[in-house]
Structure formats: C-alpha cells, structure tokens
Chains A and B, each alone.
Chain A
Amino acid sequence: MKILESFRDKELVKKGIDDLHRLIKHDWVIMEICGGQTHAFLHYGLDDMLPKQIELVHGPGCPVCVTPLELIDKALAIASQPNVIFTSFGDMLRVPGSNTDLFSVRASGGQVKIVYSPLDAVKIAQENPDKEVVFFAIGFETTAPNNVMSVLQAKDLGLKNFSI
C-alpha cells in the first residue's frame, strides 16, 4: 500500500513531470517493453502529462500482458470444471478475467496448479490419469516451441488426459 500511496503523491508527480519538461531538449521515442507499463500510463493519464517531445510506442509485451481477456475467461471456465487440473505459470493467476481470476477459482475449490515449465504439466498428467490436465499455453513465438514440446512429450508417453 505504501508504494501505491507514494505514486499518488501529487507534489512528487508534479516535480517529476516538471523535471522532465525542464530536462528534455529534443524529441524522444520511448518504447514500453511491458503491457503493464502501457496500462499504467493510460490508466493514470500520465501520457497526457508528459512533454510533447516524448512519443510513447507500445512495445511487444510479455506473454502474460498480451493475453486477451477472452482467453482468460475461457481458462477460468475450464479451470472451474470438476474433473480438470488446470496448470499455469504463476504470473497468470492474478490476471483478472471479466468476473474473477484463477486465484479465486482455486480458492473456491477449483484445482489450479502453478508450474514452472509446460513439461511440469505433463508430469502432473502422468501422475493423475483420472483427471484432465490442461496447460494454459499463453504466449507467442518465444513460448510456442516449449508448448509444442509438452504436446509431443505427452503423445510419446501415450497420455490421453493432457491438453493445452
């Protein structure tokens, strides 16, 4: 809470913005790496307060922040099924869907497990043959090979209860 409060300190923000206006001597194009930064800039109206010379360009975003809401809602619906063990990277659990998030699904009895690698999800499928194990295969080019590897691995092991 302390951190939130200090970012809402009007004087502190004004000083930062004034410093920027004073220091900036030429046009700058800055790319936000993370979708969370883009979100914060727009949500708090910081983009309107910056000097005109600063142009913000929306960057690539990581697999978590570029995951569309619709996909999160689908994940929440799957994770709520009684016969499903839903596996996901830990970062996804707090990302809100339309009504809830994976943490809340877990708190209300859904089986949601955090994995570090898609291959960990395959292991869980091996250990739980009577459950459907679903891995939340978020991301793009960088994560696609890993996700595919988990499917190949599941196929080689003859698993019928693993999907992504």
Chain B
Amino acid sequence: MCLGIPGKIIELYEANGILMSKVDFGGVLREVCIQTLPEAKVGDYTIVHAGFALNLLSEQDAMETLEILREIDFLNDEMDQMVRK
C-alpha cells in the first residue's frame, strides 16, 4: 500500500473520457490512469500508486528507484535465510 512503483509508459489512450495508459513494470503490463499528467508521452517514466500515475520522472531516477526496490527484495531474501539458519 505504501509503495509507488516506477514504470515506462508504452501506450496512451482515452477510456470513458479519461486519459489512461499501459505501463510496463519490468515486463508486467498494467492499465494506469494518467489523467493528472496530460503532458505524459509514450516512453516517459512515471511513478504509479494504486493504479494512478503520480508524476513523471527521468529514466535515471526510475532506474535508481527500481534498484533500491530490488535491494529491499534482496535484503528480504537475506533476512529469510538468516532466520532459517
């Protein structure tokens, strides 16, 4: 619930009068409402929370954020292994 996740916009379209998009999260595609970011273009990176795009971010910032999330995941695995030992 707390985490916004960065992804890449691969398609923009209108559905029922609101701006929607397909966003690629490391290979997983999700439909995201992008109504609050009319300036968004295909190829831009955006941070998404609960199905809504919050803002745009640079590719570099997106990659850094994803790297941190991967580290957290890695730490979780490590913690699991430590606890099992």
What residues make up the interface of A, taking CB atoms closer than 8 Å to B? 2-3, 6, 33-34, 62-64, 89, 91, 116-120, 142-143, 145-146, 149, 153, 156-157
User: CA–CA, A117 to B21, complex, Å?
Assistant: 14
- Interface residues in B50-73 by Cβ distance below 8 A to A read 50-52
Contact A117:B16 (CB < 8 A) given known A2-B83, A6-B83:
no
Contact B83 A63 (CB under 8 A): no
Rounded to whole angstroms, the CA-CA distance of A128 and B15 in the bound complex is 19
The distance in angstroms between the C-alpha atoms of A2 and B35, with both chains bound, is 45
The smallest C-beta distance from A109 to any residue of chain B, in angstroms, reads 26
Chain A residues whose C-beta falls within 8 Å of the C-beta of B18 in the assembled complex: 149, 153
Known: A117-B50, A119-B51, A146-B33. 8 other contacts (CB 8 A): A2-B83, A34-B2, A62-B1, A116-B30, A117-B32, A118-B50, A146-B51, A149-B35
CA distance A62 to B49 in the complex (A): 12
Q: A3 touching B83 by the CB < 8 A rule?
A: yes
Give the CA-CA distance A153 to B50 in the complex, in Å. Answer: 16
Given known A-B contacts A153-B16, A153-B18, A117 and B52 have beta carbons under 8 A apart: yes
Q: Contacts A119-B33, A120-B51, A149-B18 hold; do A2 and B1 have CB atoms under 8 A apart? A: no
- Give, as a whole number of angstroms, the nearest-CB distance from B51 to chain A: 2
Whether the Cβ atoms of B84 and A91 lie closer than 8 Å is no
